[in-house]
Amino acid sequence: MPTRPKPLPATVVLLVRHGLTPTTGKEMPASGAGPNLSEEGWKQAGQAAEHISAWRATLPALAALYSSPLSRTRETASVLSKALGLAVNEEPRLMDTDAGEWAGVALKELAKKPEWATVVGYPSGFRFPGGESIQEMYARVVGTVRSLAARHPGQTVVVVSHADPIKTVLADAMGVHLDLFQRVNVSPASVSAISYSEPAPSVMLVNWTVPESGPDKEPSPGPGTRRSN
């Protein structure tokens, strides 16, 4: 009887969305390198870096840092790089969806278009005019994150990307249909975590952000910890 191959050790992927920019939540990102982080965005990136650093003891060894090449993700990754002691590896396949003719248009104007109902209710069937389909973005980003996880078995990988790409990766890991991916919230500079192992990935953390301050606010647990009931 042939020997069954030994399963690869689990790899933890930390998914970090870029920090705030002056246009976040206001318009579809413009083509090209796009906007830079705002002052608040730089602060958020620093907070994400601090907390990933604090979680290191609960995680497999940090092995690599990958980033979309757009300005807002590169800047967020630069903060993480300094805090974690990892070089930034640019990965174009982690870029946001190519919005084509909609790039740089105010979201309130796009919401008036008849196609917006498809964006919201049937995203797997939508293609940005002159740009990429959401299905194509999903296949591109999910395939990339899976390949990065396979490249670093038994280690931790940090991936800096954009809201919708991160949502699709989380949806894939949870076995959720692409048409439901917008039900996942991914805030600026948030951290989510997936453990890639056989036979299926496991979502460990979704949308971690700095908790509100105050004496009654308990810090959110890291991806390698579990809060008791």
Q: What pLDDT sits at residue 7? A: 62
Q: Give the distance, in angstroms, between the CA of residue 48 and the centroid of all CA atoms in the same chain.
A: 13
pTM of the model: 0.89
Of 166, 5, 3, 23, which Cα lies nearest the Cα of 96?
166
Q: What pLDDT sits at residue 152? A: 97
Where does residue 218 fall: left (phi above 0), alpha (psi -120 to 50 degrees), or beta otherwise? beta
pLDDT in tens, 89-137: 999 999 999 999 999 999 999 999 999 999 999 999 999 999 999 999 9
Per-residue pLDDT at 220 exceeds 80:
no
Per-residue pLDDT at 224 exceeds 80:
no
Mean pLDDT of the chain: 90
pLDDT in tens, 42-81: 999 999 999 899 998 899 999 999 999 999 999 999 999 9
Q: What pLDDT sits at residue 9? A: 81
Mean pLDDT across the stretch 186-206? 95
Of all residues in the chain, the percent with pLDDT exceeding 90 is 82
For residue 152, give every residue at least 6 positions away whose Cβ sits within 8 Å of its Cβ, in sequence order, or none.
11, 63, 64
Mean pLDDT across the stretch 155-184? 96
What CA–CA distances, in Å, run from 67 to 93, 129, 202, 226?
9, 26, 22, 28
Tokens 């971690």 — which residue? Answer: 208
Cis peptide before 153 (omega within 30 of 0): no
Number of DSSP helices (H) and strands (E) in the chain, helices first = 6, 6
Dump the DSSP string for 138-193: HHHHHHHHHHHHHHSTTSEEEEEE-HHHHHHHHHHHHT--GGGGGGS---TT-EEE
Cα atoms found within 13 Å of the Cα of residue 66, Cβ hemisphere only = 23
> Where do the domains of the chain lie, and which CATH numbers do they carry?
11-208 (3.40.50.1240)
Of all residues in the chain, the percent with pLDDT exceeding 70 is 88
Apex CA 86: angle with CA 80 and CA 90, to 5°? Answer: 80
The CA radius of gyration of the chain, in Å to the nearest whole number, is 18
Local confidence band at 225 (pLDDT 50, 70, 90 cut-offs): very low
pLDDT in tens, 169-179: 999 999 999 99
Strand partners, 64: 157
**Sign of CA pseudo-dihedral 128, 130, 135, 141:** negative
Q: In this structure, what is the dihedral angle of CA atoms 209, 211, 213, 214, given to the nearest 10 degrees? A: 180
Tokens of 106: 């105010």
Per-residue pLDDT at 223 exceeds 70:
no
